[in-house]
Structure 1
Amino acid sequence: MQGLVKSVQRRKSLPGSGHLAKGFTLIEILVTMFILAVGLLGLAGLLFEGMRNNQGAYLRTQATILAYDMADRMRANRAEALNGSYGDFSTADLTSLSVPSCASASTGCTAADQVSVDQIEWAREVQGTGSDLAMVPGGVGAITYDATTGIYTITVQWDEASRGGDSGESIAGDNSYTVRFAL
């Protein structure tokens, strides 16, 4: 029996010392807690960056919907669009957001009046006027027309915190969506 007790004591003792192993020391626990804290901070940063990228993708999707909405309005009023009537328009320059009365009339609007209706309704969507929430925060839309090539350019910009790239570089154009098309 005495041999069994000495055998168990030898297994519990640390090699090369006469002390018995009694568990972790305070320093080992502190090192473990530090490593765990650094790992959790890294995980929190990863989650934050993922949420910010997800929000950016959502805003880009909203801007795409807005740009193609206007492109579809222009295709529906093709004769006026081919004349360049939709060009040189910016929602920032729009002082009045009242829709012409022809929009609610049973007879409808003329093709020329429909241009104003389309621009005002689109500006309302971009800026969030008349609703509780804008599709894009701080939204500004612009339409340009190049008469020599017949190409329209629709740009939607919004406010978003810029993301940093590699080595501290800033990602440019991350808060703007542009579509170019010809009728």
Structure 2
Amino acid sequence: MSMQIPQVTRHPDRQSGMTLIEILVTVLVLAIGLLGMASLTVGSLKNNQGAFLRTQATILAYDMADRMRSNAAEAISGSYDGATTNTTLSAPSCGTNGCTGAERVSADIFAWKQQIEGANGNMAMLPGGEGAISGGGGATNAGTAFTVTITWKEDRWNETKDSMSTEDQQTVVGFTL
């Protein structure tokens, strides 16, 4: 008994396969999807940059708070009060026995300024960064409140202007000694 293989007959008036229009629609849908993915990637990179800058500002603020804790007597007496990085500072010259408390204040603020502004060929940790310290004010006992403020410039989307603009951002750390 022999088995017969059915013959496929093609009708000349029927199409088989995909048409050019179907291919073009597929390419268009794929292109829109890829543009959406690119937009998400760019937005993610911008958000990551902002998070990085906030992290750097927090590190710098806590660095100064730790410096002040290690020189608590000078901090409580008000030596750090009113210090800012937007003033001209020179490197302190500590003696061979190390820095005195007052020299340590100058050294701390000078090093902090260099970190924020990227002095001596180092890269600035924050674009347009500035630091300020307030508090202290001559108290003679522990419990004095201090505030360390770091300000920097960051490009952000402004809903009111419907465009990108450079705006000041700020991190504030408060602590007591």
TM-score if structure 2 supplies the norm length? Answer: 0.81
Asked whether 1:120 is paired with 2:122, we answer no
How much is the aligned-residue C-alpha RMSD, in angstroms? 2.9
% same residue: 48
Partner-residue secondary structure (3-state), 1:70: helix
Structure 1 unmatched runs, 5+? none
- SS of alignment partner, residue 133 of structure 2: strand
Runs of 4+ in 1 over 6 A off after TM superposition: none
Please state which structure has a larger fraction of its residues in strand. Answer: 2
Matched, 1:101 2:101: no
- Going by fraction, where is helix more abundant, 1 or 2? 1
- CA change 1:146–1:112 in 2 (3 A) is closer
* Partner Cα separation in structure 2 for residue 132 and residue 121 of structure 1: 12
What secondary structure, in the 3-state scheme, does the structure 2 residue paired with 1:101 have? coil
Q: In the alignment, which residue of structure 1 is the partner of 2:65?
A: 71
Q: Corresponding residue for 2:133?
A: 143
Partner Cα separation in structure 2 for residue 4 and residue 20 of structure 1: 19
Q: Number of residues paired by the alignment?
A: 167
The unaligned stretches of length 5 or more in structure 2 are none
- Scaled by the length of structure 1, the TM-score of the pair is 0.79
> Which residue is 2:43 aligned to?
49
Name the CA distance, whole Å, in 2 between partners of 1:82 and 1:106: 26
Q: CA deviation at 1:23?
A: 2.0
2:88 alignment partner AA: T
Q: Deviations over 1:83-119 (max 9, x none)?
A: 1211112211x123x21112xx312222122211111
Structure 2 equivalent of residue 181 of structure 1:
175
